[in-house]
Amino acid sequence: AQKVTQAQTEISVVEKEDVTLDCVYETRDTTYYLFWYKQPPSGELVFLIRRNSFDEQNEISGRYSWNFQKSTSSFNFTITASQVVDSAVYFCALSEASTNAGKSTFGDGTTLTVKP
């Protein structure tokens, strides 16, 4: 069975600090997909990134970067020079290729608070 663990329930940083959100997953599939979503205070989840299990290349998008390591079953998300607008709940999710309808299992989320 698939499982996603986000051990950090809440993180608080001061603006301009770097912050890393951890995500550890469990799956028996060799083909799977990992996602990160952002849920700002408005409530609507916003897709950030998708990674498949065959692509371990790290990715950078502006101040955001993602570190995918199959050896440790982790898909961590780093925000560089955090800003107040980064305050949100961040969810990591996993979809197994063998799962019907592309269902995703979500972690419980990490609440990030960036203070000015």
Partner 1 sequence: SQTIHQWPATLVQPVGSPLSLECTVEGTSNPNLYWYRQAAGRGLQLLFYSVGIGQISSEVPQNLSASRPQDRQFILSSKKLLLSDSGFYLCAWSDRVGWDEQFFGPGTRLTVL
DSSP class per residue in 50-112: EEETT----EEETTEEEEEEGGGTEEEEEESS--GGG-EEEEEEEEETTSGGG--EE---EEE
If binding is defined by CB under 8 A, does position 77 make contact with partner 1? no
What is the chain's Cα-based Rg?
Answer: 14
Report the Cα 54 to chain-centroid distance in Å. Answer: 17
If binding is defined by CB under 8 A, does position 102 make contact with partner 1? yes
Span interacting with partner 1, options 12-20, 67-75, 76-84, 93-101, rule CB under 8 A: 93-101
Report the Cα 61 to chain-centroid distance in Å. Answer: 14
Taking CB under 8 A as the criterion, the residue among 25, 33, 68, 77 binding partner 1 is 33
Taking CB under 8 A as the criterion, the residue among 45, 61, 77, 116 binding partner 1 is 45
Taking CB under 8 A as the criterion, the residue among 8, 68, 109, 114 binding partner 1 is 109
Burial of 48 (0-12, 13-18, 19+ CB in 10 A): middle
If binding is defined by CB under 8 A, does position 41 make contact with partner 1? no
If binding is defined by CB under 8 A, does position 44 make contact with partner 1? yes
> Which residues of this chain interact with partner 1, rule CB under 8 A?
33, 35, 37, 42-47, 50, 91, 95, 97, 99-104, 106-109
